[in-house]
Amino acid sequence: MTATVEPEVGKSRRRKEDARLITGRTRWTDNIALPGMLHMAILRSPAAHARIAAIDTSAAKGMSGVLAVVTGADLAEEQGSLPCAWAITPDMKNPPHPALAVDTVHYAGEAVAVVVARSSAEAQDALEAIDVDYDDLPVVLDMEAAIADDAPLVHESLGTNKNALWVFDSAEAGTGGSVDEAIAAGEVVIERKYRQQRLIPAFMEPRSVLCDPTGEQFTLWSATQIPHILRLMLALTLGVPEHKIRVIAPDVGGGFGGKLQVTPEELLVFLLARRLGKPVKYTETRSEAMATAHHGRDQIQRLTLSARRDGTITGLKVDLLADMGAYLSLVTPGIPILGAFMYNAIYKIPAYRFSCTNVFTNKVMTDAYRGAGRPEATFAIERLMDELAAELELDPMEVRERNWIRHEEFPFTTVCGLTYDSGNYEAATDKAKELFDYDGLRREQLERRERGDAVQLGVGISTFTEMCGLAPSRVLGSLSYGAGGWEHAAIRMLPSGKVEVVTGSSPHGQGHETAWSQIVADQLGVPFEDVEVLHGDTQSSHKGMDTYGSRSLTVGAIAVVKAADKVIAKARRIAAHMLECGEDDLDFAGGRFTVRGTDKGAGIGDIALAVFAAHDLPDGVEPSLDSEATFDPENFSFPHGTHLCATEVDTETGRVTIRKYVCVDDVGKVVNPLIVEGQVHGGLAQGIAQALFEEAVHDENGTLTTGTFADYLLPSAADLPSFVTDRTETPSTTNPLGVKGVGEAGTIASTPAVVNAIVDAVRHLGVDDIEMPCTPFRVWSAIHGRTADTSGGQAGGGLGSIQGGLQ
């Protein structure tokens, strides 16, 4: 008899890992201490571009507790160049990227010397005794200025500030028409320029790294999203044999792409530990994280959209400038390219051209940040849809409906050549409009306009999709990416019937341990509590491509399912032997093989024990149920949804208040609704923050002036509305679970919804754009026809002002 067991998949389980993560009583890298451990501190350049004329470390070397003071010149022979794994074009310019600057610094915050001491306090004190002479060089900050003919150069040796030009043209690719012809023939042509401001990932746990050189292998703990990639890159960069390195990403407190990196600090800790023969640890300060962990976004978008007067889009041309910062980090040049395939979004655009010029500046590198290329693309097209609607005096939803792919048209091959496997934009939109009271809010908007209310109401739409689940290896190959996009998993059946799941997708807060346990519990028919998920250690999880790009569930968990299939296949043969029947006579359900038509059966745990004993196995069968699988997706997953935002804009102060936010997301089948809800909420907060709050600002010298949380504003719950979230469920057809990614959806969708709502509220006052973040000052200035000069001066508030006041 098999009891009917409620499936685990679909249950809103609370995350099993949360108690230890939230209380911090767990293995964060900085919580780990080893005998004899030393501490590293880094002296960073205050100049954004300067030649290092001299460094005097003699005083620092004599200070209490100091074991080593090392400069770039000391490491020049062994430090190699930090890796960039994505050469987007064959002629891409890639300057040497030393972990420790040797003769020139190229951004403020770049490491110029390190101290290793017995305590972190002693290391910090010794930094102040290092004397560096800098000869200032011209600072290049603005992308448009950087590509002018006579611009000073970030890297003299390159002869240009352009990293690469990358182009996709649908006419050339044979996937669509000529955009120039479309624009020439356009009944309506809209041109816009949008700025995607620079953002700081601002993960909760600062980065930390510890290297123990005392064993046969070097063991490196790092607060990283990518332990597997890091191991390979350490080997390739430093020339250390890969098998002599073990990398552990213990519990990691957030990343948002910001820890998808091989960092100077990881290399330096490794090199110093090797040099001194003792464990060395480095944990960055929050200020160091803000200034030197890679930033995100930072693009200028020039957009041209052509359409017929009925609102049908005929062509889209995208010209980007993308700020690389001073060097190329792991995937820096490829981030804008990830957006190239998303500007057409959910719409049937017949002609499309995308070109992106990557530009070097004297700022910290940009690289992956939640959404990575797709938020920028989604913002551009969703803002343009509203602009087109305004131009044609149509309802912006009507314009979208006219152009989107209808649900009966799937699978649909886009103008970029991607095949969207499934989707139902009508269903998500219908549900969202109903939850939002779209018509009611439009009525109120009209009333407020008519009575000239000081507080105007706006409605913003974002009918987004995105490509995630990175990625089919052959697609990555076609984009010249340096690796594949598969994922690995293994399942170990323990003699007692418990299960260990090994995943190559190393979480940093996503809840893999819970979700994977739910999936395996269903696949193998074992209790949720009997599953342990192991990850993030190259010793236990020897293969993996790690966690980013909303790939864990759509790639990593599918590998888990495939491994479970193999366990069951192995167990079936043994069960047939134990139950003296043919394999075809067996049914497997609820963790039990039963002989069809009888009450005979054996549980998966019984079989695991029998395999452990191995006393009586069929001939030629190895005594193990353990299995592994590597899954390479055949396609991306394409979550989509309709986000509707109502904002109240106070025309007297410029303050924007989100009155209502409704999103209906379609992320396919859902493993754990609570985790999905959490991802959506967090994603919304981050996308709304780009629209309203966050901006990395540099002064004319290239110094980051928003280097603390007093100046770089992150919203808290008090600054956000209650979100109304719901889902439609159109299963993905390209994986056996029918799942799509959800990690980035909220971030990608929400930013344009908010900005569209703000512009919609004040469009009748002559406003058709407000630069992000839409601060009260910027909104008020736009309404009153002024330009908001945000370059500053002095006023009270913020730690920047304290610094000023103390000088």
Report the residue number, 454 or 613, with the smaller CB distance to other proteins.
454
Report the residue number, 23 or 794, with the smaller CB distance to other proteins.
794
Report the residue number, 382 or 711, with the smaller CB distance to other proteins.
711
Q: How far is the CB of 669 from other proteins (least distance, A)?
A: 37
Report the residue number, 359 or 783, with the smaller CB distance to other proteins.
783
Rounded to the nearest angstrom, the gap between the alpha carbon of residue 779 and the centroid of all alpha carbons in its chain is: 29
Q: How far is the CB of 710 from other proteins (least distance, A)?
A: 8
CA distance 43 to 792: 28
Give the list of residues 6+ apart from residue 434 with CB closer than 8 angstroms, or none.
none
Rounded to the nearest angstrom, the gap between the alpha carbon of residue 797 and the centroid of all alpha carbons in its chain is: 32
Q: How far is the CB of 707 from other proteins (least distance, A)?
A: 9
On whether the CB atoms of residues 361 and 419 are closer than 8 A, the answer is no
Q: 202: closest CA among 761, 695, 615?
A: 695
On whether the CB atoms of residues 660 and 645 are closer than 8 A, the answer is yes
Report the residue number, 503 or 686, with the smaller CB distance to other proteins.
686
Report the residue number, 150 or 652, with the smaller CB distance to other proteins.
652
Does an H or E element contain 235, and which? helix 227-238
CA distance 624 to 94: 49
For 420-440, give the DSSP string.
Answer: E----HHHHHHHHHHHHTHHH
Q: How far is the CB of 190 from other proteins (least distance, A)?
A: 30
Q: How far is the CB of 121 from other proteins (least distance, A)?
A: 5
Does an H or E element contain 803, and which? helix 799-806
Token representation of residue 54:
């001299």
Report the residue number, 152 or 776, with the smaller CB distance to other proteins.
776
Beta strand 586-589 with 592-595 is antiparallel
Question: What letters, b where the CB count within 10 A reaches 16 and e where it falls short, cover 197-226?
Answer: bbbbbbbebbbbbbbbbeeebbbbbbbbbb
Q: Is 263 left (phi over 0), alpha (psi -120 to 50) or beta?
A: beta
Q: How far is the CB of 289 from other proteins (least distance, A)?
A: 11
CA distance 717 to 246: 40
Report the residue number, 165 or 799, with the smaller CB distance to other proteins.
799
Report the residue number, 430 or 719, with the smaller CB distance to other proteins.
719
Rounded to the nearest angstrom, the gap between the alpha carbon of residue 521 and the centroid of all alpha carbons in its chain is: 29
Q: How far is the CB of 519 from other proteins (least distance, A)?
A: 38
Which residues of the chain form contacts with other proteins (CB under 8 A)?
120-121, 124-125, 128, 285-287, 652-653, 655, 693, 697, 705-706, 708, 710, 713-716, 718-719, 775-777, 780-781, 786, 788-806
Report the residue number, 264 or 773, with the smaller CB distance to other proteins.
773
Q: 390: closest CA among 457, 321, 459?
A: 459
Helix 425-436 × helix 438-450 angle, to 10°? 50
Q: What sign does the dihedral 342-343-348-350 (CA atoms) show?
A: negative
Report the residue number, 544 or 707, with the smaller CB distance to other proteins.
707
Q: How far is the CB of 295 from other proteins (least distance, A)?
A: 17
Q: Which burial class, exposed, middle or buried, applies to 309 when counting CB atoms under 10 A from its CB (0-12, 13-18, 19+)?
A: exposed
